[in-house]
Structure 1
Amino acid sequence: MEKWQLALDMIDETRSWGVDVPLVLADAGYGDTVAFRSGLNQRGLRHVVGMSTTPTAHPAAASPVTPPYSGIGRRPVARYPDPARSVKTLAIEAGRGSAKPVSWREGSRPGKARTGLKRMYSRFVALRIRPAGREIRDATEGVELTECWLLAEWPAKEAEPVQFWLSDLPAGTPLITLVRLAKLRWRIEHDYREMKQALGLAHFEGRTFNGWHHHVTLAPRAACQ
């Protein structure tokens, strides 16, 4: 079974326990998968997911156009007049000047913030786009593709954007909210690392000698407590 399907199954199981899932965050390994995003939409779950540079989209202002009928054959159907472009291209076309500075949290290094720590800071471009592609078109009712957010991190010292996210949060969502949610992935990685190291989940390595050794060592130890 694909990892994205396992993720959807885990979300379904979590919700079956009565746990609310207000928002789904994921990296590009999941965000690039149209079926995963469609699964979230079908469940009515908002998301902020990472993207690679290659997925394509149209600008939000783009509209389908029906070519004139020549009188021969089938009548033409409405389609977007210009080809879809990569999300990276759309962000670059928006221009460096469209990138806005955002500080989203305090880091762990010494800095000039009131707490004495350094603030995490970068520049971001936020665009409304319409993701494209055959899978998306086949799953879309009608001819107009769904509008959503493209968020791109474009540091001042970089010649082009370095990281991308896609989100179906409402059109009026502030930039700072988009950035904070996108960057919340660090907390997930931090908590996962703590679960493996501090709580010892990494000790259970499956059907290997080390995994068996850890299990038979820890199990009697736990029984003696």
Structure 2
Amino acid sequence: MDQRWWGQAYVRGLLLDGRRKSVEPMAARLGVDGNRQALAHFITSSPWDPAHVRARLARRMHKAIGPEALIIDDTGFLEDGEASACVSRQYTGTAGRVTNCQVGVSLHLATDRAPAAVDWWLFMPASWDPTSAEADADKVARRTRCQIPARAGHVEKWQLALDMIDETRSWGIDVPLVVADAGYGDAAAFRLGPEERDLPCAVGVSGRHTAHPADARPVQPPYAGTGRPPKVRYPEPARTMKDLAVAAGKAFARPVSWREGSRPGRCRSGFKRMYSRFVALRVRPAGRGIRKAADDPELPERWLLAEWQTGETEPTSKIGRPGFER
């Protein structure tokens, strides 16, 4: 009962006007209900499973916004000192560099107008996992002080994302399309995940990854009749995604306008529409982790979408990276 009361007080503290959302200033805004120690205890020692709250949130937001996509992302929380769990020197887009921070992997239901975060997990770097070869003794020693359960260990971000997709679907949430940037799309195991779950997906990939053109066909190398027969393989080496898009040529790019932006313009709504040019190719992704049917030597076909902005000499990675769509 006490935890329920302080939960309500904490939410009221978040909603009241005030810039800082940490416990001490929130307690001051709450007046007679602002017991700083009790609020801090609520935050650090809440005993219930948050999945039930997240499930109710997901169902409510699914009904409210009618999501068109499920977006996977991560956010860095800049931290220092020894009191916060899973802080490590790692890259975060929040700062645009490697720094001391926590990283949270999140799942959002979204339309082009309304996103809603409905699931989020804290990423544990390998240095915090006592079973990892990269374990750091000082960080492992801080696990108890940070109240990290003994069973919690390092899991790659892409695997956390797949686990969250499974959790969200278990709540009865329909997933129309999975979307993620190259931080996840570069992992072949992540790209395989939605396919195994029969979910459509569009993910970013770095231009350095390789593929064969869609019309490429594997061949059986000559066999002299001694030893193990050589495996069926593609006669030409795979090319990078960037090279395939460049080979198609700028003339192959098509203009696409997809939604209104935030800048003023001459459109009917008063805002400019988002616009760019894209090359769309059918390719056969290659490299490690790519699976093909046991009875079919051909690699599976996928769409490669590469943004090629007007005035640029090659596809760009500044706004839209090359991506796969199933």
TM over 0.5: same fold? Answer: yes
Alignment pair present for 1:167 and 2:325: yes
- Matches of 1:135 and 1:101, distance apart in 2: 33
Partner in structure 2 of residue 127 of structure 1: 281
3-state SS of paired residue (2:216):
coil
Partner in structure 1 of residue 262 of structure 2: 108
Match of 1:152, as an amino acid? A
3-state SS of paired residue (1:72):
coil
Residue identity over aligned pairs, in percent, reads: 65
How many angstroms does 1:114 deviate by?
1.5
Gaps of 5+ in 1: 169-225
- Matches of 1:150 and 1:33, distance apart in 2: 16
* Higher RCO structure, 1 or 2 (CA under 8 Å, sep 6+): 1
How many angstroms does 1:75 deviate by?
2.2
Map residues 1-225 of structure 1 onto 2, 5 A cutoff: 1-137=155-291, 140-141=293-294, 142-162=296-316, 163-168=321-326
How many angstroms does 1:151 deviate by?
0.1
- Matches of 1:104 and 1:128, distance apart in 2: 21
Match of 2:251, as an amino acid? G
Gaps of 5+ in 2: 1-154
Instruction: Detail structure 1 runs of 4+ shifted over 3 Å in the superposition.
Output: none
- Matches of 2:288 and 2:186, distance apart in 1: 13
- Matches of 2:233 and 2:246, distance apart in 1: 24
Equivalent pair of 2:306/2:322 in contact (CA under 8 Å): yes
3-state SS of paired residue (2:289):
helix
Larger displacement relative to structure 2 (87-96 or 36-45): 36-45
- Matches of 1:110 and 1:41, distance apart in 2: 40
- Matches of 2:275 and 2:305, distance apart in 1: 15
How many angstroms does 1:143 deviate by?
1.3
Equivalent pair of 2:308/2:315 in contact (CA under 8 Å): yes
How many angstroms does 1:83 deviate by?
0.4
TM-score, normalization by structure 2: 0.50
Equivalent pair of 2:188/2:288 in contact (CA under 8 Å): no
TM-score, normalization by structure 1: 0.71
1:106-136 deviation line (CA, Å, top 9, x unaligned): 1111112111211111110000000001321
- Matches of 1:53 and 1:75, distance apart in 2: 34
Match of 1:15, as an amino acid? R
Match of 2:311, as an amino acid? K
Structure having the higher Rg: 2
1:150-206 deviation line (CA, Å, top 9, x unaligned): 0000001111101211111xxxxxxxxxxxxxxxxxxxxxxxxxxxxxxxxxxxxxx
**Structure with more of its chain in helix, by fraction:** 1
